[in-house]
Structure 1
Amino acid sequence: MSIKIYGDPGSGSLRRITSAAAVMGVEIERVNIDLFKGESHTPEYLELNPHGLSPVMVDGDFVLYESSAINLYLAEKAGSDLAGTTTRERYEILQWMFWSGEQWRVFATLTFDEVLAKRFMGKPADESIVNLAAAKLRAGASVLDAHLAKHDYIVGDRLTLVDFDIAGPFSQNERTKIPLNEFPNLVAWQQRLLETVPAWADTKREVDVRIDTALEAAGIKL
């Protein structure tokens, strides 16, 4: 029985899973969920994730949401070194993954909700929220930029799950205008991922087509 991953092709969170799964050689069955049509809020989907968010993994009778947890599960199942090979490395990866969830990606998502999602609903962005999120992202980016001045990757100078985790906001930064391009080491690291991890480049194209097509269909120009 294959592992099913439910998600919208325009989701940066889904991108983190599909990219990591490809690198780890984990076969997954994609089940597309159209967020723009409200398919994540059907009674059937809410049984999988009561928050109405994607992605969600279903492996037999085991249901798991939150992309970071899903990637850790897939890595353990595959015996992959992307989750770390030593105790120290594993905990460094977890440290940065927790940091990414609390200090980083949440503010990129908040900006997406204000700058893009509200446009689809015909509502204006709350600039106070956008500015707050930008300030938080700059604070986090400063930490990352200093770290990446000395490292090619986030942990251990090789690709791990946390690279996908922290790279997630780059999926929409050109559309939401979050301030990531102000930090040269961060930009160089992202470019390194695109050039050395084919799955990351492939999923960027998938996200771009999905979101740009949706914007065009809605008549939204950024």
Structure 2
Amino acid sequence: MAIKVYGDPGSGSRRRVTSAAAIMGIEIERVNIDLFKGESHTPEFLKLNPHGLTPVMVDGDVVLYEASAINIYLAEKVGSDLLSTSPAERYQILQWMFWSGEQWRIFATLTFDERIAKRFMGQPEDNSIVQLAADKIRAAAAVLDAHLAEHRFIVGDHLTLADIDIAAPFSQNARTKVPFSEFPNLVAWQQRLLDTVPAWAETKQEVDDRIDSALAGAGIML
């Protein structure tokens, strides 16, 4: 029985799981959940994740939400080096994954909610929130840019789950206009992932097609 992953094709978080699964050669069954239609808040879905968020993974009796937790589960299931085989390197990967959640992705998501999601609800963005998020992103990006000046990948000499977690906000940056372009090492690293990790490039196209179609369907011009 294939592992099921529930989520919206336009979600950067689902992208983290589907791309990681593809890299690890793990067969998954994608179950599309239309976030724009509120399908993550049906009684059936809320039994999987009471927060009404995606992605959610179902592997037999195992139900997990939060993309980072799902990817760690999948990597451990198959013994993937995306989580490293070195204990010391593994803790570095986990450190950066936790950093991404605390210092990085949360502010990119906040920007998406203000600049994109609110448009679907006919609400204006709150410029003070957008500015706060931009300031937080710049502070974190400065640290990341300095790190990437000396590293091709976030940890070690190859792609890991840390790269996938930290790259996730690039899924929407063309639309949200978060200030990534101010940091050349960060931009170069993201392009390197697109050039060398086929699954990352393929899932980018999937996200772009989904969000651009939703925007066009709602008559929203960015």
- Measured against the shorter chain, the TM-score band is over 0.9
Residue type at the aligned position of 1:146: A
Tell me the residue number matched to 1:141.
141
Distance apart, 1:149 and its partner CA: 0.3
Matched residue of 1:50: which SS?
A: coil
Tell me the residue number matched to 1:96.
96
Tell me the residue number matched to 2:218.
218
Matched residue of 1:98: which SS?
A: helix
Tell me the residue number matched to 1:73.
73
Matched, 1:61 2:97: no
Tell me the residue number matched to 2:87.
87
Alpha-carbon distance between aligned partners in 1 of 2:60 and 2:105, rounded to the nearest angstrom: 29
Distance apart, 1:61 and its partner CA: 1.3
Residue type at the aligned position of 2:167: A
Distance apart, 1:84 and its partner CA: 1.2
Runs of 4+ in 1 over 3 A off after TM superposition: none
1:3-82 maps to which residues of 2 (within 5 A)? 3-82=3-82
Alpha-carbon distance between aligned partners in 2 of 1:48 and 1:100, rounded to the nearest angstrom: 24
Deviations 1:69-90 (A, max 9, x none): 0000000001101101111100
Alpha-carbon distance between aligned partners in 1 of 2:64 and 2:141, rounded to the nearest angstrom: 29
Alpha-carbon distance between aligned partners in 2 of 1:85 and 1:107, rounded to the nearest angstrom: 31
The Cα RMSD (Å) is 0.5
Any unmatched runs of 5+ in structure 2? none
Alpha-carbon distance between aligned partners in 2 of 1:89 and 1:32, rounded to the nearest angstrom: 34
Scaled by the length of structure 1, the TM-score of the pair is: 0.99
Matched residue of 2:123: which SS?
A: coil
Alpha-carbon distance between aligned partners in 1 of 2:152 and 2:197, rounded to the nearest angstrom: 13
Higher alpha-carbon deviation: 4-13 or 76-85: 76-85
Matched residue of 2:132: which SS?
A: helix
Scaled by the length of structure 2, the TM-score of the pair is: 0.99
Tell me the residue number matched to 2:196.
196
Distance apart, 1:123 and its partner CA: 0.0
Matched residue of 1:10: which SS?
A: coil
Percent identity of the aligned residues? 78
Residue type at the aligned position of 1:112: F
Alpha-carbon distance between aligned partners in 2 of 1:62 and 1:115, rounded to the nearest angstrom: 35
Matched residue of 2:128: which SS?
A: helix
Distance apart, 1:134 and its partner CA: 0.3
Tell me the residue number matched to 1:167.
167
Matched residue of 2:119: which SS?
A: helix
Alpha-carbon distance between aligned partners in 2 of 1:133 and 1:205, rounded to the nearest angstrom: 26
